[in-house]
Amino acid sequence: MTATDKNILEAYSNLFQGLSYLNKIELIERLTKSLKTVGTKSKENNFYKSFGAFASEKSAEEIVSEIKENRKFSNGRLDN
């Protein structure tokens, strides 16, 4: 275990001290569940979920172009 890992664990341990018994049990259950699902989810899927990304066949340039085309300005302000 690296020094960084030890520091992270210590920081979390300090946070957990203030939790109630039931909250600690819930945390243990969630950690256990996360360990069981580690191998079942793809890294790419987790990456995109973390940013709220969406799947699209369009290129980034096409999406940007579409957004710009749909903008409507009036008196120097963006109208909704």
Q: What's CA 58's distance to the chain center, in Å?
A: 23
How many domains, the chain? 1
Run means of pLDDT, 10 residues per run, the chain, 80 residues: 90 89 93 76 66 77 91 69
- pLDDT of res. 55: 74
- pLDDT of res. 61: 93
- Print burial letters for 10-36: b (CB count within 10 Å at least 16), e (below 16): eeeeeeeeeeeeeeeeeeeeeeeeeee
- pLDDT of res. 21: 93
Token code pair at residue 62: 């096409």
- pLDDT of res. 76: 64
Using an 8 Å Cβ cutoff, are 20 and 28 in contact? no
Give the C-alpha separation, 35 to 29, whole Å.
10
**Residue 59: domain span:** 3-79
